[in-house]
Chains A and B, each alone.
Chain A
Amino acid sequence: MSVPFFQITEGFTRALPLLEEGLAEFHRQSGWVNDQQVRAFEQAIATYTGAPHAIATGNATDSLIICLMALGIGPGDEVIVPCYSFFASVSCILQVGATPVFVDIEPGSYAIDCSLIEACITRRTRAIMPVHLFRQMAEMDALMDIACRHGLKVVEDSAEGIGMRWNDRHAGLIGDLGVLSFFPTKTLGALGDAGMVLTRDADLARRVRQILDNGRDASGLAQCLGYNSRMDDLQALWLRARLPELDQEIERRAALRDAYDLHLGPLGEYLQVPVTLPRAARQRCVDYVYLIEAQNRDGLVEHLAARGVGVEAYYPLPLHLQPVCAGPTHAEGRFPVAERAATRALGLPLYADLSASDVASVCQAITEFYAAAGAQS
């Protein structure tokens, strides 16, 4: 048995007709970076998400940095961020010279615990950065209320959030700025790195466009400091060829989650399957990662690896304990929910083309692992 953590062979075959059409156009174009295919994809994402401005970038890590730069956040400023996320959620803050202020997460949604935010606000706080991880968005009503009362900006790290909605508003469009990642394993994945910034604000959108193109305006003059973080037309045309299937694939992912839940339900003593926290808002969740919390997680990883099952420990080390963030206020024990999750969380294979029998064999292997463990104890 072998179930890779991710694969896209069947999706590729299905996208082939649109891909070939796009490639023919691409070949006739005079530019291959941040050009016609990218404009067309931005349009398509604007339509899908309802974003007034969808701006393509090289990747979501850069998108986050660019968002903070566009807001003028820098040295001396503090940004509130959950301590449980991918590294980019904190590195963007450090990259612009600002100070991250960590907050623990809620169990279950893995999103920032909004009840802890206000205690962290100081005179220097400029922004809050919620992160929407795995499946469910942060409690955005509570968060926006706090931001509003304290005059703070909100940058959503919605890198994993395509398709997620909050009261019918797409992730990334609730705060001032949001991002999307098209890293290959994402719900909508490129065949390389690609990202986006979403915003409702025309002026921020204009600044974002300059920053990602080395600070240049339409005439080529550098108006501000920037990066080279443009999307490749090749990635854009592939992503556009994949977009029409996205909603179907999201449904397929939900069905696979149900299948996992069913198989893993009896193992409640050893592991916890994903839960959905109730919210007052209407939420549309998207199963980007099927994340379990497992006893003896690292033993399970080894067991599964030996059977050819690809898994990812998301995330094994919380942000406040990363070597680059080391500091006296970031000692172990400060953020118990995140620290516990870091030792237990495990992402199982989940993608539209995973078969029901793949799910069954992954669960079989997990069941075997705990049966053996149970027999030993």
Chain B
Amino acid sequence: MIKYQDFQRRYPNAQTQILEILAARVQQGDFILKQQVQDFEQALAAKVGARHAVCVSSATSGLTLSLIASGIGPGDEVITPAFCYVSAASSIVQAGATPIFVDVAPHSGVLEAEAVVRALTPRTRAVLVAHLFSGLADIDALREALPEDVLILEDSATAFGARLRGRHAGTLGDIGVYSFFAAKPLGGIGDGGAVITDDDQVAGALRMLRNHGQDGRRRFYHQRLGYNSRMDETNAAWLQARLRENDLHLARKQAIAKAYDEAIEASDGVLLGQHRGTPDFSPHAYVVRSAERERLARHLTARGIQTRVHFPVPLPEQPAFVQWSAGPAHYPNARLLGKQCLALPLCSGMSDGQVSRVIEALKEFSHAEVI
């Protein structure tokens, strides 16, 4: 069986590593937002070339706190993709602002500047733009097209390690957010996230918001309506180690993705790949499009290959968010991708043999189609 995510293969020594981390934390007596988190924040900021990395409990929370720290709230509009994870919509509503859904481009699955610009109103305060699967949105083009005072919140939850024209995803807009959910490119041992920014004021606000509005000096004195959105020391210690070895894992995943690319190219259009927007991509998920997705999924399952469907229903069509939908006619691409996309197993621990089996199965499927 080729698992969609295989932690045993990805982290063969996890048990020992985790036990060591726990023992060290217990010895130290520090568990939340202490030295390990600080060290990780510094290493992360240095790695991606940003002034501040502020660790939080998840990317979802990081998105909400970023909006609040930027002073965005009731009465403000935030443009967001119709095809994305739930938090692209929920974080905006949690901040009290209004989500304005915009359809994504079919070949990349991400927002493009032209469509975003059409949705601008005088109340637009920010654009939440998400990188998806293995692709990057063109943040530079977006910056070019947007008024200066519209904030770009870069949902890089799944894009850690990718670069656009040399610069890291997460540092391309005004504020970037990473997720360290275990399955993510930089995977934690639990939920976790980080907000990346060069803005001292935003970083300062985030540090207060994540810990009950306290300023870090005076305990039990709450200056802002804050949250409990903190990172555990255990997770930060684990993530420091993962960050050090990330380049190796990234290279391996890129190699697997490129091997899959060949099978897609050989499929004569039966399977479509994702337009990635950069050669320096970070494959979080390898997604293929097929007009017969269910049959493809069954075909792969029968060969012991686990797959996954991401975002089958456009966000504005989910019960929680329909009240902000502009109507079903506005999101044809989100619906199409929701019907056609299928994610293949992709993890740095996969063996060459496993990769070949996936490729063989894909070829088998597309040849049968062509004949």
Q: Pick from B61, B89, B230: contact of A228, CB below 8 A.
A: B61
Contacting chain B: which of A21-29, A110-118, A252-260, A272-280? A21-29
CB of A192 within 8 A of CB of B32, answer yes
How many Cβ-Cβ contacts under 8 Å join chain A to chain B? 169
Q: Pick from B8, B94, B213: contact of A28, CB below 8 A.
A: B8
Cβ-based interface call for B234 (8 A): yes
- Closest Cβ of chain B: how far from A147's Cβ, in Å? 26
Cβ-based interface call for A317 (8 A): yes
Cβ-based interface call for A233 (8 A): yes
CA distance A7 to B25 in the complex (A): 11
Q: Pick from A12, A95, A233: contact of B225, CB below 8 A.
A: A95
- Closest Cβ of chain B: how far from A235's Cβ, in Å? 7
- Closest Cβ of chain A: how far from B75's Cβ, in Å? 15
- Across-interface contacts of A233 in B (CB, < 8 A): 190
CB of A228 within 8 A of CB of B319, answer no
CB of A227 within 8 A of CB of B320, answer no
- Across-interface contacts of B3 in A (CB, < 8 A): 30
CB of A222 within 8 A of CB of B318, answer yes
Cβ-based interface call for B291 (8 A): no
Encode contact with B along A305-325: 1 for CB under 8 Å, 0 otherwise. 000000001111100001110
- Across-interface contacts of A157 in B (CB, < 8 A): none
CB of A9 within 8 A of CB of B27, answer yes
| B189 closest partner in A (C-beta) | A234
- Across-interface contacts of A58 in B (CB, < 8 A): 57-58, 191, 228
Question: How many residues on chain B are close to A (CB under 8 Å)?
Answer: 59
- Given A23-B19, A222-B89, A224-B319, CB of A33 within 8 Å of CB of B226: no
- Across-interface contacts of B6 in A (CB, < 8 A): 30
| B23 closest partner in A (C-beta) | A12
CB of A238 within 8 A of CB of B22, answer yes
Cβ-based interface call for A46 (8 A): no
- Closest Cβ of chain A: how far from B6's Cβ, in Å? 7
CB of B8 within 8 A of CB of A232, answer no
- Across-interface contacts of B182 in A (CB, < 8 A): 31-33
- Given A232-B191, A233-B190, CB of A192 within 8 Å of CB of B225: no
- Across-interface contacts of A23 in B (CB, < 8 A): 15, 18-19
Cβ-based interface call for B235 (8 A): yes
CB of B234 within 8 A of CB of A192, answer yes
- Across-interface contacts of A223 in B (CB, < 8 A): 318-320
CB of B235 within 8 A of CB of A317, answer no
CB of B320 within 8 A of CB of A191, answer no
Cβ-based interface call for A243 (8 A): no
CB of A324 within 8 A of CB of B228, answer no
- Closest Cβ of chain A: how far from B12's Cβ, in Å? 9
- Across-interface contacts of A42 in B (CB, < 8 A): none
**In chain A between 172 and 218, which residues have their CB closer than 8 angstroms to a CB of chain B?**
183-184, 190-193, 214-216
CB of B57 within 8 A of CB of A315, answer no
CB of A88 within 8 A of CB of B221, answer no
CA distance A191 to B235 in the complex (A): 10
Encode contact with B along A45-76: 1 for CB under 8 Å, 0 otherwise. 00000000000001111100000000000000
- Given A61-B212, A87-B212, A324-B213, CB of A27 within 8 Å of CB of B191: no
| A8 closest partner in B (C-beta) | B26
Encode contact with A along B293-318: 1 for CB under 8 Å, 0 otherwise. 00000000000000000001101001
- Closest Cβ of chain B: how far from A62's Cβ, in Å? 6
- Across-interface contacts of B19 in A (CB, < 8 A): 19-20, 23
CA distance A106 to B8 in the complex (A): 54
- Given A61-B227, A94-B225, A222-B89, CB of A192 within 8 Å of CB of B29: no
- Given A28-B8, A191-B234, A222-B319, CB of A91 within 8 Å of CB of B222: yes
Cβ-based interface call for A221 (8 A): yes
- Closest Cβ of chain B: how far from A35's Cβ, in Å? 9
Q: Pick from B31, B181, B224, B321: contact of A33, CB below 8 A.
A: B181
CB of A8 within 8 A of CB of B29, answer yes
- Across-interface contacts of A28 in B (CB, < 8 A): 8
**In chain B between 162 and 210, which residues have their CB closer than 8 angstroms to a CB of chain A?**
181-182, 189-191
- Using CB atoms and an 8 Å cutoff, list the residues of chain A in contact with chain B: 4, 6-9, 12, 19-20, 23-24, 26-33, 58-62, 86-88, 91, 94-95, 183-184, 190-193, 214-216, 220-230, 232-235, 238, 313-317, 322-324
A/B interface sample: 11 pairs, CB < 8 A: A23-B15, A32-B189, A61-B228, A191-B234, A216-B86, A222-B90, A317-B220, A322-B221, A323-B223, A323-B224, A324-B224
